[in-house]
Amino acid sequence: IQQVDTDSNGTPLFDTNSFRVVCSCPDGDRQQLESRSSNELYVCKHGKAALDSVLDATASAKIKANKEAAVAEARLKAEERKKYLIEQRQLQDREMPGERERIHYGLSKRSDEDIAKLVKKAAMTMDGLKALTKIFPEEVMPPKQTIRCGRCDQEYDPQIPSDSVCREEHPEDKCKMMWDGSKKSWEHCRRCGKDFRLDGFHSWGKRKRDDPEDEGPYCYETVHVPMEDYDEDNDPIMQNLDDSDY
Ligand SMILES: [Zn+2]
Ligand SMILES: [Zn+2]
Ligand SMILES: [Zn+2]
């Protein structure tokens, strides 16, 4: 058998009049007849195994072809980009001699903090702002668009990856200082059950079996959920917390 055509969902398409699966087992004799009368393909278990291996081969051949196409496209794009940048560099050297070196040098001699200050200062004038909108178009710096998180109630901007961290520190009034002897202490949060702020324990060497483990300063740490998608009753994170007052 050769490769088998599939529809867009990957379901194999057979022409049951011309497609033949022949096997010498007793079931094999019946399959051709049943396939003809029902317009569906009936095969014995041996035929199925053979077909499955053909379909697997077809699928993996397609995946391989897709992968190769993607790699080729990426390589082409990278080459185009490289060519474009070489052209740009030549253009810079011609039209703005020495300027690239001057800017590179200036940037290398300033801290990130100083550079941020200069940029913010530039945003105060018309010319400065015009230059900045060219360097930072909306694709790079989208306008502020905040929503509220259903879990922690904090406002956040889903367009900014670093803005998506959803976490709550252990609330002071739910934390209790614990002691082991007079030298070892730690805090225990009864909201989440975690131990943290260990003091007097060796950070190296063997942990004793009963020693608490530092589980960090947060009751939970995950990503925000937009208010409208949030279902408090089906949030395992909140269900693990004890928010009762006692
Ligand atoms: Zn068979
Ligand atoms: Zn906690
Ligand atoms: Zn949140």
Does residue 167 or residue 202 have the better pLDDT?
167
For tokens 């990856």, the residue is: 161
Residue range 204-238, pLDDT digits in tens: 667 777 788 899 999 999 999 999 999 999 999 99
Give the mean model confidence (pLDDT) for residues 98-127: 97
| Extents of the domains making up the chain | 1-97, 99-135, 148-239
CA of 109 to the centre of ligand 3 (A): 39
Whether residue 137 contacts residue 214, with contact meaning beta carbons closer than 8 Å, is answered with no
For tokens 């794009």, the residue is: 77
CA of 9 to the centre of ligand 1 (A): 28
pLDDT for the residue numbered 16: 58
Ligand nearest to the CA of 32: 1
Confidence of residue 4 (pLDDT cuts 50, 70, 90): low
Mean pLDDT of the chain: 88
- Those residues whose beta carbon sits under 5 angstroms from the ion ligand 1 are 23, 25, 28, 44, 46
CA of 7 to the centre of ligand 1 (A): 27
CA of 71 to the centre of ligand 3 (A): 38
Ligand nearest to the CA of 218: 2
Residue range 170-196, pLDDT digits in tens: 999 999 999 988 889 999 999 999 999
What end-to-end distance do the CA atoms of the chain give, in Å?
A: 73
Residue range 60-79, pLDDT digits in tens: 899 999 999 999 999 999 99
pLDDT for the residue numbered 44: 84
pLDDT for the residue numbered 15: 66
CA of 214 to the centre of ligand 2 (A): 12
CA of 24 to the centre of ligand 1 (A): 6
Give the mean model confidence (pLDDT) for residues 117-139: 96
Q: Which residues contact 80 (CB under 8 A, 6 or more apart)?
A: none
Q: No. of H helices and E strands in the chain?
A: 6, 7
Q: Which residues contact 129 (CB under 8 A, 6 or more apart)?
A: 122, 123
Q: Which residues contact 140 (CB under 8 A, 6 or more apart)?
A: none
Cα separation, 96 vs 90, whole angstroms: 10
Supply 115's token pair: 């550079």
* ipTM value: 0.65
